Amino acid sequence: MKFTSSPLLSQLLPAWRARFVAALILLAFGTLAARSVYLQVVRNDFLQQKGESRYARVIELSATRGRIADRSGDMLAVSTPVKSVWAIPEDARLSPAQARTLAALLEMDVRELNRRLAAEKDFVFIKRQIPPDVAEKVAALALPGIHQQREYRRYYPAGEVTAHMLGFTGVDDRGQEGIELAFDDQLAGRPGSRRVIKDRLGRIVEDVESIKPPQDGKDITLALDAKVQYLAFTHLKQALAVHKAKAGGVVVLDARTGEVLGLANLPAYNPNNRLKLTGAQLRNRALTDVFEPGSTMKPFTAALALEKGRFRSDSLIQTAPGRLTIGNATIHDAHPHGPLTVAQVIQKSSNVGTAKIAGTFAAEEMWRMFDDIGFGQPLRLGFPGEVGGRLRPFKTWRPIEQATMSYGHGISVTLMQLARAYLAFARDGDLIPLSLTRQESAPLAGKSIFSAQTARQVRAMLELAVLPGGTAPKAQIAGYRVAGKTGTAHKLEGGSYADRYVAVFVGFAPVSDPRLVVAVMIDEPSAGQYYGGEVAAPVFAQVMAGSLRTLGVAPDAPLKPVQVARDVAAVPESL
């Protein structure tokens, strides 16, 4: 029997079966058609997203960090474009020779390079902020999976001279110290983004659209005067070398506006090269280091006495025999004196005279004056690490402690606090806020601490202190009347005073119309001299003289050489 004539073939299939199969086929085609419509019409964005994910990328557009300029417009900090090398580890299949060549160009260990390329990530940085010439050599290698992107690196033209004022930024161009940190929100700006198309080698072949434009940071104009800053840094550096000191600081304030025209500290560092930084170099000592101010506090005690009407400038105080016992402790003068007027107590820097003045006050009266001046609390300038010093509650004061605080022991301050406090004498008894940025308008209203009459009387006393017979004739400046006060204090170590000193001088000029306040601190001078009048006062004179001439301040005294009388030796301030 032939196969074609088989009776099985003559049997008909059930009609429902054919219809069922046809229905299944139609349903399948309908499902595919519906899915096609859904994906291409309803969910069109899904397919586009999947397609674009193969070739489209969103790249970040860096914002340029704002520049920092001094009050004259000279640039102190700018951002320069650099390149960073990054990789897609999955695509970066380098031969050993290629890896060695790349590592050599980037000055990396080849094992570290291979470790980064072996990371299970879609993106890794190989080396940040490389020089342009190195970037060109890396690009010329055309290595698979190795790419570059533009970033910015901060550059500081003045180097270590402005290091503590400006601070620095990190590798991501964010502020880490100083002005860079204090004003980071204004300087940083906001990065933008852009959609591009890249080929399989990661090269951009088409710029599609801008998603968000970058917002560059705002420029900042500081109150700082670059010339004044250079003077402060240079003369401080010379003084530390001459006196073999451990550290030091200088602050220069504009007495009229409260602007910080100069702030220098040593040891310093180069913010352009921070490979071997130490904590000692980074510390902004004028704001983070506290010390006992010594005799620089005596003018405030005298001012309180005048303000309360307890004494006049010519009131006599018996300081003989040069010592005063309070309880179980005895206060000494460096040189014994007989009766001294209040003005002479400041001129000669008598501990005994100052303590006797302080003994007429209630503890709360002295504490309130110190608190009004701002001791014991940070100035809140925005600098990282700024401290407020130490001012204990008056209820805990013993009589001997009140006496020693009257001449600067048992209380601690920062150099910036001390400089600001002297604004009360340079001005007519009021204190105004300090400013790190240039002030285009009149300063904010100050807080009245003393009456104008009291401030002027103390100003006259401080002028006596720098004349022959005072503690700081080396603070004199040819052509200008100068007023100021020395301070020398033992350093506290382990709760007791050590045979190490901090030498201080704070003053202002010209006395007829004070324009600048300069405060100088020299930490641990070890070349034989340690009194403030010998160590810190000459730095004050050099910085003040140069700054007054730089700012064009007219002289208010005869232009004749400064002479320090030899027959009347400078009186060392009492410790």
Cα–Cα distance between 61 and 440 in angstroms, integer? 34
DSSP secondary-structure letter at 474? G
Phi, psi of 147, rounded to the nearest 5 degrees: -130, 170
Residues 25-52: b if buried by 16+ CB within 10 A, e if exposed: eeeeeeeeeeeeeeeeeeeeeeeeeeee
Q: In the numeric block, which tokens belong to residue 227?
A: 């010339």
Q: In the numeric block, which tokens belong to residue 99?
A: 């890896």
ω into 299 cis (within 30 of 0):
no
Element (H, E) at 263: strand 260-266
- CA-atom Rg of the chain in angstroms: 37
Cα–Cα distance between 264 and 521 in angstroms, integer? 11
Told to judge if 526 belongs to the known catalytic residues of this protein, a careful annotator would answer: no
* Beta carbons of 241 and 212 less than 8 angstroms apart: no
Cα–Cα distance between 402 and 71 in angstroms, integer? 42
Cα–Cα distance between 138 and 136 in angstroms, integer? 5
Cα–Cα distance between 161 and 149 in angstroms, integer? 32
Which residue has 């490979």 as its token pair? 275
* Beta carbons of 391 and 290 less than 8 angstroms apart: no
Cα–Cα distance between 104 and 125 in angstroms, integer? 16
Single-letter code of the amino acid located at 509: A
* Beta carbons of 206 and 411 less than 8 angstroms apart: no
* Beta carbons of 93 and 145 less than 8 angstroms apart: yes
Q: What ranges make up the beta strands (E) of 372-494? A: 430-431, 447-448, 483-493
Q: At what angle do helices 298-307 and 363-373 cross, to 10 degrees?
A: 110
Q: In the numeric block, which tokens belong to residue 394?
A: 């008056």
Phi, psi of 352, rounded to the nearest 5 degrees: -65, -45
> Among candidates 570, 571, 563, which has minimal Cα distance to 476?
563
Q: Catalytic residue among 295, 350, 547, 574, which? A: 295
> Among candidates 190, 121, 166, 108, which has minimal Cα distance to 284?
166
* Beta carbons of 474 and 565 less than 8 angstroms apart: no
Q: In the numeric block, which tokens belong to residue 207?
A: 């710029």
Strand, helix or coil for residue 325: strand
Q: In the numeric block, which tokens belong to residue 259?
A: 């602007």
> Among candidates 429, 134, 418, 111, which has minimal Cα distance to 291?
418
| Residues in Cβ contact with 93 at an 8 Å cutoff, skipping those fewer than 6 apart | 144, 145
Q: In the numeric block, which tokens belong to residue 3?
A: 């196969």
Active site members: 295
